[in-house]
């Protein structure tokens, strides 16, 4: 992530949190963390259904252009293919490590003349270390070594977070398997200061006293 990106987030963040009405509504307390951001690294593993691997496929083509089909990714840089996935997330690059959660969402190949996609997905955690989810969205120009997408929010441990995730293709095996390294940098997060069920109870969030952790 370059300095310009960080500056943009810092500015956005300042404008958002200096607004008195927002501050009052949430009755927040600000905590400044020692590090400029919270850093997390995960890998997720995508095995695309190819007509023969239904037992271990974690992704399926659910939409294809008229010149393609749902078994084989389309010609013209896969343009028009829409893939839904439910991929295991691991902390190292081994597909067989115990997953800490699932990456769930879709990608759509959206340019005819180059190989590029648009991603919309969540990390749904299920581990002792992390509870809740992180939501991601953004353009993924696959030919670039690193690609930045937005962390647009979260729940549980990551309640209302914002940040950036740098994706790197860690492995690519034909048209069946790929592994993405995801370097996540969260710029701030909310913390509950009293009890809570850690996730889904919205009325709880409205009544709770929240603390904003500023990572920047």
The whole-angstrom separation of Cα 106 and Cα 216 is 30
**Given the complex with ligand NAG, which of 36 and 141 has the nearer CB atom?**
141
How many CB atoms sit inside 10 A of residue 56's CB? 10
Min dist CB 24 to ligand NAG, Å, is 21
Strands 210-214 and 29-32: parallel
Site of tokens 């670039």: 144
**Given the complex with ligand NAG, which of 17 and 170 has the nearer CB atom?**
170
Min dist CB 203 to ligand NAG, Å, is 5
Min dist CB 19 to ligand NAG, Å, is 27
- The site for ligand NAG (CB under 6 A) is made up of 47, 53, 56, 69, 71-72, 126, 141, 144, 177, 201, 203-204
Tell me the residue ranges of DSSP E strands in 78-160: 82-90, 101-109, 117-126, 131-140, 146-156
**Given the complex with ligand NAG, which of 34 and 113 has the nearer CB atom?**
113
Q: What are phi and psi of 202, to 5 degrees?
A: -65, -40
**Given the complex with ligand NAG, which of 3 and 203 has the nearer CB atom?**
203
Min dist CB 11 to ligand NAG, Å, is 20
Cβ neighbourhood burial of 92 (10 Å; 0-12, 13-18, 19+): exposed
Min dist CB 141 to ligand NAG, Å, is 5
Min dist CB 135 to ligand NAG, Å, is 17
**Given the complex with ligand NAG, which of 21 and 203 has the nearer CB atom?**
203
**Given the complex with ligand NAG, which of 14 and 25 has the nearer CB atom?**
25
Site of tokens 């070594």: 145
Alpha helices of the chain — where are they, by DSSP H? 3-18, 20-26, 202-207
Nearest to 133 by CA among 159, 107, 99: 159
């Amino acid at each position: 992530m370059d300095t310009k990106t960080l500056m943009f987030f810092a500015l956005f963040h300042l404008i958002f949190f200096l607004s008195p009405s927002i501050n009052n509504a949430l009755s927040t307390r600000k905590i400044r963390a020692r590090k400029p951001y919270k850093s997390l690294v995960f890998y997720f593993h995508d095995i695309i259904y190819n007509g023969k691997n239904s037992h271990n496929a974690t992704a399926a083509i659910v939409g294809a252009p008229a010149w393609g089909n749902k078994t084989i990714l389309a010609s013209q840089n896969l343009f028009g293919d829409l893939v839904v996935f439910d991929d295991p997330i691991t902390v190292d690059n081994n597909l067989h490590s115990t997953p800490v959660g699932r990456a769930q969402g879709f990608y759509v190949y959206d340019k005819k003349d180059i190989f590029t996609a648009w991603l919309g997905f969540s990390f749904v955690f299920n581990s002792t270390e992390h509870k809740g989810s992180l939501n991601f969205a953004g353009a993924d120009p696959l030919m670039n070594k690193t690609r930045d997408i937005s962390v647009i929010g979260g729940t549980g441990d990551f309640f209302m977070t914002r940040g950036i995730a740098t994706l790197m293709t860690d492995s690519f095996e034909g048209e069946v398997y790929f592994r993405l390294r995801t370097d996540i940098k969260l710029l701030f997060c909310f913390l509950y200061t009293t009890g809570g069920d850690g996730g889904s109870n919205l009325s709880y969030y409205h009544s709770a006293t929240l603390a904003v952790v500023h990572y920047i």
